Amino acid sequence: MSTPSSVLRLGTRASALATTQSGLVADLIRERLGREVELVEVSTEGDRSSAPLASLGGTGVFVSALRDALLDGRVDVAVHSLKDLPTTPAEGITLAAIPQREDPRDVVVARDGLTLGELPVGSRLGTGSPRRASQLEALGLGLDIQDIRGNVDTRIRKVRDGDVDAVVLARAGLARLGRLDEVTEVLDPLQMLPAPGQGALAVECRSGDTDLVAALAQLDDAATRAAVTAERAVLSTLEAGCSAPLGALADVVEGEDGEELWLRAVALSADGGLSVRMSTTGPVTEAESLGTRLASSMLDEGAADLMEAPVRKQHA
């Protein structure tokens, strides 16, 4: 068990975005817990492979190596993008904190400052996400959706170099990297529902480090945890990995009897031609059951049949 005087070793992926996000958590730990923190970079399968995420198995490819580092004692804390986290709990590991979420919406970075609607028919739009690809196809804009991998810098460079006309990225990542000035459009969730948990960070530690579990709980944001719990319950109930064409977003809103959760979700066929889209509201305290009930209703409407996510052709 970690002692209060020891330096906390915080495991992170090595990308600029991952280390920036982990740095934000490290700062929170220093400010709120008074602990010193050092970042420890861990290489993951998702970082080492250039194959489409769906072909790697989707969920967990960025997570398992960090969890292994936790369990074998190389690190004391691990930080993940919550949307990368499998919905099934990992034995011996506790999700100790979900700090306040960044704006979860998706954004467009396009040539010449264009928005989605301004891109000419046939324009090449890059994304590595079946969820984004399906929703873009559903908009019927006649875009050529191309599968690309790589970090934020790599994807934006493909636009700058003319390899593609636009890319769709998470706003949260660009905000944390200080690159919002490169965004040409923020997408309304009515057009593009984000991935469950998008914009939120997950802070994990060993379940046996009970003092650390309790301390890290001070970083938790209740509204964020409620929202992402509802979204991830949709994901879990539909048995969809992070590679599936599924979007979900929950917001804490003011209802007639105080705060409540408003949850929206969509499941799509790979080509975006078919979809099941639903929403519901309920008490913040019933976040998980709210997500489960909404997903069950979507299954009744045939959602499971839609979400077979074939690997899209990869473009260099």
At 185 the three-state DSSP class reads: strand
> Which residues are 16's β-sheet partners?
none
Q: Which CATH number covers residue 155?
A: 3.40.190.10
Q: Which residues are catalytic, by number?
A: 84
For the segment 207-232, the average pLDDT, to the nearest whole number, is 97
Residues 211 and 142 in one domain: no
Residue-wise pLDDT for 154-168, tens only, equals: 999 999 999 999 999
- For residue 303, the one-letter residue type is A
Q: Is the pLDDT of residue 190 over 60?
A: yes
Q: Does position 315 have pLDDT exceeding 80, yes or no?
A: no
Q: Where are the alpha helices (DSSP H) in 7-97?
A: 16-28, 45-48, 64-71
What CATH number did the domain enclosing 247 receive?
3.30.160.40
Least confident of 21-30, 37-46, 193-202, 230-239: 37-46
Paired strand residues for 264: 249, 279
Q: Which residue has the higher pLDDT, 151 or 62?
A: 151
Q: Which residues pair with 155 in a beta bridge?
A: none
- The 10 Å Cβ neighbour count of residue 79 is 26
Q: Is residue 316, in this structure, part of any structural domain at all? A: no
Q: Based on the domain organization, do 49 and 178 belong to the same domain?
A: no
Boundaries of domain holding 32: 8-100+201-220
Q: Please state which of the ranges 111-120, 226-235, 237-246 shows the lowest mean pLDDT.
A: 237-246
Tell whether 131 and 72 lie within a shared domain.
no
Of 53, 150, 165, which Cα lies nearest the Cα of 108? 165
Task: Flag whether 191 is in a domain.
Answer: no
In a domain, 2, yes or no: no
Give the pairing of strands 144-147 and 124-127.
parallel
Tell whether the model's pLDDT for residue 234 goes beyond 80.
yes
pLDDT at 31 over 60: yes
Domain identity same for 29 and 53: yes
196: in domain: no
At 152, give phi and psi (nearest 5°).
-55, -45
pLDDT > 90? residue 3: no
Q: For the chain, what is the domain count?
A: 3
- Alpha-carbon distance of 61 to 33, in angstroms, equals 30
Q: What totals of helices (H) and strands (E) does the chain contain, helices first?
A: 10, 13
Residue 30 sits in the same domain as residue 174? no
Pairing verdict, β 77-81 and 144-147: unpaired
Banded model confidence at residue 140, pLDDT cuts 50, 70, 90: very high
* pLDDT, position 32: 96
Q: Let me know whether 154 and 209 are in one domain.
A: no
State the DSSP string of 201-237. EEEEEETT-HHHHHHHGGG--HHHHHHHHHHHHHHHH
Chain segment 284-299, per-residue pLDDT in tens: 999 999 999 999 999 9
pLDDT, residue 59, reads: 47
116 with 262, same domain: the answer is no
User: What pLDDT, on the 0 to 100 scale, is given for residue 163?
Assistant: 96
Residue 46 pLDDT > 70:
no
Q: What is the pLDDT of residue 306?
A: 78
Whether residue 193 is contained in a domain is answered as no
Residue 49 · residue 231 · CB < 8 Å: no
Q: Are residues 246 and 277 in the same domain?
A: yes
- Its pTM surpasses 0.85: yes
pLDDT digit string, tens, across residues 65-89: 999 999 999 999 999 999 999 988 8
- What local confidence, expressed as pLDDT, does residue 313 receive? 39
The token duo for 142 is 């006649």
Q: Quick one: 90 and 126 in the same domain?
A: no
Banded model confidence at residue 43, pLDDT cuts 50, 70, 90: confident
133 lies in the same domain as 50: no
Same domain for 15 and 81, yes or no, is yes
* One domain, residues 61 and 133: no
- Looking at the domain assignment, is residue 17 inside a domain? yes
d(CA 70, CA 9): 10
